[in-house]
Amino acid sequence: MSNILIIKHGSLGDIAQASGAIEDIYENHKNDDLYILTTKSYYELLKKNPFIKGIIIDKRLSRFNLIYLYLLMRTIKKYNFSKVYDLQNSSRSRFYKKILHPKSSFEIWSSSATTLPLDKTKEEFDQDPVLQRFKHQLSKSGLVTKNVLKPNFEWSCEDISNIKSFYKLENYIILFPFSSAHLTIKRWPFYNELIAKINEKFKDKYQVIIAPGPNEIKIANEIDAKTILHNEKALNISQLSTLIKDSTFVIANDTGPAHMAAHLNTKGLVLFGSHTTAKKVSIEREHFKAIQVSDLTKLSADKVFQRMQEAIN
């Protein structure tokens, strides 16, 4: 039995996307123990992942913080990992490779760099859809891949019957109208118009709800929908997963909850502007589709409502 390390720091959408890759790594290492190097934000969530034995926290402090770097590398080395799967593929994880396994190929350190296709540069490869990149990386590393292209995030769910009972939630449409403060380009501005159309068409058939994150509670009042909290705080990731999974439909900006919805097999729409493409981030699934436009301010509520009606029926 050996110890295997997976590196995946986040964000939330990235964790959801990596679920299939993590499952494939587990299936190919049934006699080994899997550990994951991640950030504190995802500790409680990843404790629920049935394929992971243990979690190592990386505070991601400055590389010039030599004391922290030494302690982290010492922690990693004590596990004597026989193989590392770098699913983060960032400058930080490449830096860790230079310290831990500077000359190793994909047999020891699997990453997009060590498994790069012969006909592509790293920059060209990074333009491919993220799940296709994971599949290539794992396949090149000798793994049989059955789940990487169809991540299943249902392991993240927990019982929220108390929350649903408190808010009397049965049939509901959940919206995610926010984004990170520095990524306002991702925000579609017409959610209230859409809500008015939903309420007019469906009357009391569906409740329209939002579930703001910790930094979104104050501005949630700007949206004409019921705000779902738990003990006056934002839902944790596992509670949010179940709320999404049990919904009738999801409409979201390109944020973490949209990626969760995609990999929870939920019906829904995600709205993309010019910041990236739905294909590149591998978000479209059988029941979860994207509307891609060059300018979100020119995407009408009528168009989104029409697509929602077609999908919900």
The burial class, CB within 10 Å (0-12 / 13-18 / 19+), for 74 is exposed
Nearest to 218 by CA among 240, 201, 233, 198: 233
User: Along the 313 residues of the chain, how does pLDDT read in single tens digits?
Assistant: 899 999 999 899 999 999 999 999 999 999 999 999 999 999 999 999 999 999 999 999 999 999 999 999 999 999 999 999 999 999 999 999 999 999 999 999 999 999 999 999 989 999 999 999 999 999 999 999 999 999 999 999 999 999 999 999 999 999 999 988 777 789 999 999 999 999 999 999 999 999 999 999 999 999 999 999 999 999 999 999 999 999 999 999 999 999 999 999 999 999 999 989 999 999 999 999 999 999 999 999 999 999 999 999 8
The CA distance from 44 to 221, in Å, is: 29
Is-cis flag, bond preceding 300, omega within 30?
Answer: no
Same domain? 129 vs 190: no
Indicate if 255 and 147 belong to the same structural domain: no
**Using CA atoms, how far apart are residues 58 and 40, in angstroms rounded to an integer?**
7
Looking at the fold, whether 250 and 303 belong to one and the same domain comes out as yes
Domain that holds residue 219: 155-312
Structural domain tally of the chain? 2
164 & 129 share domain? no
**Whether residue 209 sits in one domain with residue 135:** no
Q: Are residues 177 and 112 in the same domain?
A: no
Interacting residues of 88 by C-beta distance below 8 A, sequence separation 6+: 7, 8, 9, 14
Same domain, 148 and 159: no
Q: Is the pTM of this model over 0.75?
A: yes
CATH number at residue 64: 3.40.50.2000
On whether both 181 and 223 belong to a single domain, the answer is: yes
For the chain, the distance separating the N- and C-terminal CA atoms, rounded to the nearest angstrom, is 50
Amino acid 167 reads Y
Helix ranges (H only) for the chain are 12-17, 19-28, 43-46, 66-78, 91-100, 122-125, 130-140, 161-166, 191-202, 237-245, 256-262, 301-312
Residues 216 and 121 in one domain: no
